Every structure is written in structure tokens, then in C-alpha cells.
Amino acid sequence: MKLPVIRPVYASLRDPVTDLQIREFECEAQAAEMVKRSDEHDRGPAARYSEDLSAINEFAENVGIVSIPDIPPAVALGRYVRRHATGIWFGIIGVLAAVLATLVLTGARAFTPAMILPMAGAVMSASGWLYLKKDLVSDSSAEQMVTARKALLDTFALPVKPCAASAAAASEDEPDSGIAVPGRVSERDRKIEAIRCAVTQLDREWLDFQLKLYDWWLGKPALRDDTVPATAAYRDAYDQLTQLADELSDSSSDEQIAAADQAAERALLAWQAANAHAEVAGVSDRTPTERAALRHLNTLVAELADPGTVRERWPVLVAHIGREMDKLTTIPASWAQVRAYLNSLGIGERLPAIEA
């Protein structure tokens, strides 16, 4: 079975290490699950991808893919220490053994802190290099994870512009003569296909936005606020486009096709305007309470999803997440979003049964 997925177009994030994590380990299962279960601004791709979601998750589980969320440095350091505890202890023992050997070989009678600095520096440098190279993944599976990640993305990749090939092929056809010829695409069919491609493109843009947790919470929250004029204009344009596109058929009049074509252009331009506005605004147009809550939610959800977070910590984090959600008014969040994110990582049991 051929599994449909999307190749997200990633923006450069603040932290290069975080950017590397997102690029290498987030897979389509997360995107499909988030869209499928999200109760805000539901989009068309959800139904198309949900039927293959179980197969995607099964493949990801078999090859060992994990998704590493955007986490704060303190959490990242804690996870690194836990995952590399054995190596760190061996490093410490090695340093002490080297110091002891130095004392014995040189016949030194007194220990000075300066003796340990070169060796400690070497150990810390090696640990730092390992931290970046393995990208927070345990040593034993790092190479396997990188290989599996590449296989996953290569297997589940769709072109960034899925309509480009068909459009190019259509452009090679002779001008429409009005006579139906088997194997030839008519001008009417080309226009209808282009309109539906515009809907698909907007669906993909929204799916990409949902996939990027940083953009969803902190980077572009204005895209979820209908009171923002640019966002409201896009929602209206998109709704009008989908309505007109759904009504298109072989019997549609030229006027209907022309109206849908104009609606597609308006919706695409409206998305560009709304996305640009949200990118510039960030969280600056939110209240201080909401800004703090959004930043805290991003950290809390990341910690809850962290494989190194102990079970006793889960209910504490869930309680904190609930309190922060209550502080959001202009862009309210729901438990369905958090649950969908955890389910996409295969750790839905960390969130108890809570009404969305």
C-alpha cells in the first residue's frame, strides 16, 4: 500500500540543535494525527491521511523513529545526563584514574586542581561533540535512527507541488478544440484541476503549520485568532473557495469555473497575507498573561512528551497544563490537541481521560 504523506517545508528555528531535531525525527504520523484529532479549524487532508495513519505509525514503530519536541535547554541537559549516565560515570572514573596515574608516574606528593583541568576539558569536549552528533539519541541506536529517519521520509514523501507534473503535462496538449478526444485533457478540466490544486496547497500549508509546534504555540498564534483581520479574511476566502470548488463538476458553467478560479487566487493571496502578518506579530499582539502561558505550555507539553520524564511527574504536568490553558482567551487550546500530539508519539497514556 502506498502511504500518502507530506514533506513539510521547515523554517529556520531559533536553536540550531532544536531545528536539527525537528528536521530529522518528526514524521508524518504526528502531522496526520494532529489534524485528525484537532477540533480547531479542521481541514480537508485529515480524512485523506487518517485511513493510513495506523500503517504509518506501525512503520515508524518498527524502524524505531521517535519525535523529539522543541524542549528548553534545561530539560535537554537533564535528558542527556540520564541517557548518558553510564558514559559520564566512566568519563569521571577515567579522569580520576588518569590523575592517579600521573601522580604515580611523576612521583608527585601533592595533588593540584590544575592536573585535572586538561583531562576534564577533553572529556567535556568529547561529551559535547557526542551530544551534538547523536542529537540526544542514545549511543546504541543513533546510526540506526538516522538511517530509519531517512527511509521514513523517503518512503512517505510527496512532491512539494503535487500538481506541477500534471500541469506541465497538460501544457503540452494541443489547444482545446471543444471536441472530446480520449487521453486529452480539456481546458475546462485543466481549470477545475488547478482550482482543486489550490485547495490542496492551502490544506498543506495549514498542515505544515500544525506540524511545527513552535509556530503553533509561539511563532504564529495569530493564524488561529479569528479576530485578527488578516486571519479572518483568509478564513472567509478559504471557506468561499472550498464551497465553490466542491460544487464544480463536468456540468459546471464557465461562469462557475471563473468564479471558483477567482476565489482560489483570493484565498492564496489571503493566506500569504495572514501568514506574513502572523510571522511578524509572533506573540507580541497577545496579552502578557497569554504570552507567558503560551511559552509555559510549550515547555510543559514538551516535558510531558519527554521519554525521560518519570511517571510520577505526569499528573503534575497535566495539572500545570490545565491551569495554563485556562489563561488563554484569544487563542484557546484544547486537551484534544495535547492528546493528539502525545498519541502521535505513542505515549497517549500519559494524559488521563479528560474532556476536550
* Domain count for the chain: 3
Taking residues 291-310, report their average pLDDT. 88
pLDDT at residue 59 in the model: 47
More confident residue, 8 or 190: 190
Residue 133 counted as domain residue: yes
In a domain, 102, yes or no: no
Within a domain: 267:
yes
- For residue 92, the model assigns a pLDDT of 72
Q: Are residues 278 and 296 in the same domain?
A: no
Residue where a domain stops, chosen among 241, 269, 284? 284
- The DSSP H or E segment spanning 235 is helix 229-246
230: pLDDT confidence band, cut at 50, 70 and 90? very high
Query: Does residue 47 belong to any structural domain of this protein?
Result: no
For the record, the C-alpha cell of 211 comes out as 506540524
What pLDDT is attached to residue 110? 61
Indicate the pLDDT class of residue 85, thresholds 50, 70 and 90: low
What pLDDT is recorded for position 104?
Answer: 67
316 pLDDT higher than 50: yes
Q: Name which of 23, 27, 25, 43 is nearest 35 in CA terms.
A: 43
What pLDDT, on the 0 to 100 scale, is given for residue 43? 39
Residues 303-310: contacts with CB under 8 Å, at least 24 apart: 303/71, 303/75, 304/338, 304/342, 304/350, 304/351, 305/67, 305/69, 305/341, 305/342, 305/345, 305/347, 305/350, 306/69, 306/71, 306/75, 306/79, 307/66, 307/79, 307/347, 308/78, 308/79, 308/82, 308/83
Residue 41 placed within a domain: no
Q: What is the Cα–Cα distance from 297 to 323, expressed in whole angstroms? A: 10
Mean pLDDT of 74-89: 60
Average pLDDT over residues 311-328: 91
Q: Has residue 143 got a pLDDT over 60?
A: no
Q: What is the pLDDT of residues 17-51, one digit of tens each?
A: 333 444 444 444 444 444 444 433 443 444 434 44
Of the residues 236, 264, 284, the one at which a domain ends: 284
What is the pTM for the complete model shown?
0.50
pLDDT digits (tens, 9 = 90+) for 96-139: 777 777 766 666 666 666 666 666 666 666 666 665 554 444 43
Residue 275 and residue 210 share a domain: yes
In-domain check, residue 314: yes
Average pLDDT rounded to a whole number, residues 245-272: 92
**Mean residue pLDDT across the chain:** 67
For residue 170, what are the contacts with CB-CB under 8 A and spacing of at least 6?
185, 190, 193
Instruction: Give the least confident one: 8-22, 59-73, 96-110, 315-329.
Output: 8-22
| Co-location of 263 and 325 in the same domain | no
Within a domain: residue 213?
yes
Spatial distance between the Cα atoms of 234 and 254, rounded to a whole number of angstroms: 25
User: What pLDDT does residue 73 have?
Assistant: 54
Residues 194, 259: one domain? yes
Average pLDDT over residues 316-332: 90
Indicate whether 332 and 345 sit together in one domain. yes
Query: For the residues 71-89, what does the mean pLDDT come to?
Result: 59
- Mean pLDDT over residues 288-311, rounded? 88
In a domain, 303, yes or no: yes
Lowest mean pLDDT among 79-88, 121-130, 157-166: 157-166
Q: Is the domain of 137 the same as that of 204?
A: no
Contact in structure between 139 and 86 (CB atoms under 8 Å)? no
Residues 306 and 275 both lie in one domain: no
Q: Are residues 245 and 308 in the same domain?
A: no
The pLDDT tens digits of the residues spanning 267-299 come to 999 999 999 999 999 889 999 999 999 999 888
274/290 same-domain check = no
Provide the domain limits for residue 131.
114-158
Q: Check whether residue 291 and residue 273 sit in a common domain.
A: no
Pairwise pLDDT comparison (144 vs 298), residue with the higher score: 298
Cα–Cα distance, 127 to 237 (Å, whole number): 52
Query: Residue 331's pLDDT is what?
Result: 87
